[in-house]
Amino acid sequence: MKILVADDDRELGEILNLALTRAGFDVVRAMDGEQALELFAQTQPSLVLLDFAMPKLDGLEVCRQLRTQSSVPIIMLTVHNAEEEIVRAFELGADDYITKPFSPKQLIARVKAALRRSGASVSSALTVGDVRLFPERHEVLFGGGETVRLTPLEFRLLHVLMLNRGQVMSTDQLVEQVWGHEEHIGDRTLLKGLVRRLRQKVDVDPDRSSLIKTVAGVGYSFMA
Amino acid sequence: MKILVADDDRELGEILNLALTRAGFDVVRAMDGEQALELFAQTQPSLVLLDFAMPKLDGLEVCRQLRTQSSVPIIMLTVHNAEEEIVRAFELGADDYITKPFSPKQLIARVKAALRRSGASVSSALTVGDVRLFPERHEVLFGGGETVRLTPLEFRLLHVLMLNRGQVMSTDQLVEQVWGHEEHIGDRTLLKGLVRRLRQKVDVDPDRSSLIKTVAGVGYSFMA
DNA sequence: TCCTTTTGGTACCGATTTGACACCGTGCGG
DNA sequence: CCGCACGGTGTCAAATCGGTACCAAAAGGA
């Protein structure tokens, strides 16, 4: 279970890191607000710990922006007696807050509680190489950050291929999983067309060989 | 989400009433301690705000009696420096206290925090970006302050979309959740019409792109 | 009741997506 | 050398999809 920690205080960050790691979480660290948003998009954590005071973008702004795209649990870290900040944070959709200083024990308890409340709304981002696919958003993101618009069938094909990365999928398997039913089995024409259109969108870099490898006489596989 | 406010000070009560209503809560008012107990039994609120000084039964006594029958969150309202009262209130099972005078923002934050601790769903008001939705009133409030009235179906659609912010909801999912059951599944016509009407009301700023993003071939998602 | 609001439904337009054809080059076996 | 199977490409028509306008039925309030 991944947790994104956004805090510019190196020392505090280390404490958080240690406590969370010891509790069995994977920690991803951001040192400022911009980086936090970036890492969120990349890593799709299950929970976010946000410090209020941060360079570039402060915690409130990060919170606001995260809330426009995700309902991930957000816990704010704040200094004592900052009522005003806390109120704003709740208004912007934060789930909880912890005042510094706090005990690691308390932190873990809050984190677990927030995760429990959020149910199992874990994001299932699929990453292969520098291609990331978000099923719940129907979106594909490249390492650089560019997104590609895919049609429903293109998306399903890519999804299937990425779920089975490295493995060769026979044409029949692919046809069945993409189109869903028997009628088209045995017909390679449709798959040919679809693979072509998908390659045009996905193979951004014309130098490198296609991400979708053809295995002659069998089918296709994604990446090597 | 209902909140019982027990306070004999008419002016203060109005402030409380307004602040809570604006935050999306339903307010039930009691003018004295007896009435508070009575209304509690009748309306079963999710939280109780209790003034210390009240006719018939004072706040402490009401608190004590409520605790014999319910674990509802209780927040006491007290004048400044009434240490003794505060200690007694906690002993009798109060969850939090607020000293008068207080800001509406602070009040809301405390109320939400108490509700959250109690395990109830945080707030009935749903905020995404600068759009806030009030379930009970079938109304949305924008950052600027303008409100828009929604019809029941429009409201349900927006509610579902906001609850799943950032995620793409398929047309079938939406149809099922808005209309309730199968009869209409597979029919996009109704949804088209509803989305259009909702957009007309919600997309106040004609410059910006619609808050309701259409994901071609799949469905819609709510973004700010 | 009458009038207003809300909802269901039809028709049409333009854009996108998809299915389907014919054709091309390559590699292989006879 | 020829024919053939296979995968890739160009192209295009048909189907689908989303948006809009408009209207009629249904529901709700005064």
Q: A224 pLDDT band (50/70/90 cuts)?
A: low
Give pTM, 2 decimals.
0.69
| Chain B partners within 8 Å of A95 (Cβ) | 116, 122
Q: Which amino acid is at B108?
A: I
Q: Tell me the C-alpha distance between B83 and A196, whole Å.
A: 75
3-state secondary structure of A33: helix
* Helix (H) or strand (E) run with residue A219 in it: strand A219-222
Residues in chain A, total: 224
Average pLDDT of the residues in A73-88 = 77
Q: Tell me the C-alpha distance between B178 and B180, whole Å.
A: 6
Cβ-based neighbours of A32, under 8 Å, separated by 6 or more: A6, A8, A54, A55, A56, A57
Place of tokens 């979480």: A25
Cβ-based neighbours of B19, under 8 Å, separated by 6 or more: B104, B107, B108
Closest by Cα among A63, A64, A91 to A75: A63
Q: A195 pLDDT band (50/70/90 cuts)?
A: very high
Which one-letter DSSP state was computed for residue B177? H
Mean pLDDT of chain A: 85
Which pLDDT score is estimated for A101?
76
Helix A83-91 / helix B104-117 crossing angle, nearest 10 deg: 70
> Which of A17-26, A149-158, A165-174, B53-62 has maximum average pLDDT?
A149-158
Find the Å distance, CA of residue A46 to C1' of nucleotide D22: 47
User: Between these two residues, A193 and B104, which has the higher pLDDT value?
Assistant: A193
Torsion angle of alpha carbons A15, A16, A21, A22, nearest 10°? 60
Which pLDDT score is estimated for A201?
92
pLDDT tens track for A16-46: 888 899 888 999 999 999 999 988 988 889 9
Pairing mode, strands B131-134 and B139-142? antiparallel
Q: Residues at the strand C interface (CB under 7 A)? A: A 149, 151-154, 179, 184, 187, 189-190, 192-194, 197; B 149, 151-154, 179, 184, 187, 189-190, 192-194, 197, 216-217
Pairing mode, strands A74-79 and A96-100? parallel
Contact A114, A75 (CB under 8 A): yes
Contact A151 B112 (CB under 8 A): no
Q: Which two tokens stand for residue B199?
A: 């957009």
3-state secondary structure of A215: strand
Which pLDDT score is estimated for A149?
92
Query: Which stretches in chain B have pLDDT values below 70?
Result: 42, 69-70, 80-81, 116-125, 135-137, 181-183, 207
Contact A99, A72 (CB under 8 A): no
- Residue B221 dihedral angles phi and psi, to the nearest 5°: -145, 150
A110: closest chain B residue by CA? B117
Which pLDDT score is estimated for B121?
39
Q: A133 pLDDT band (50/70/90 cuts)?
A: very high
Which pLDDT score is estimated for B120?
47
Q: CB atoms < 10 A from the CB of B103, how many? A: 13
Q: A83 pLDDT band (50/70/90 cuts)?
A: low
Phi-psi region of A56 (alpha: psi -120 to 50; beta: other; left: phi over 0): left
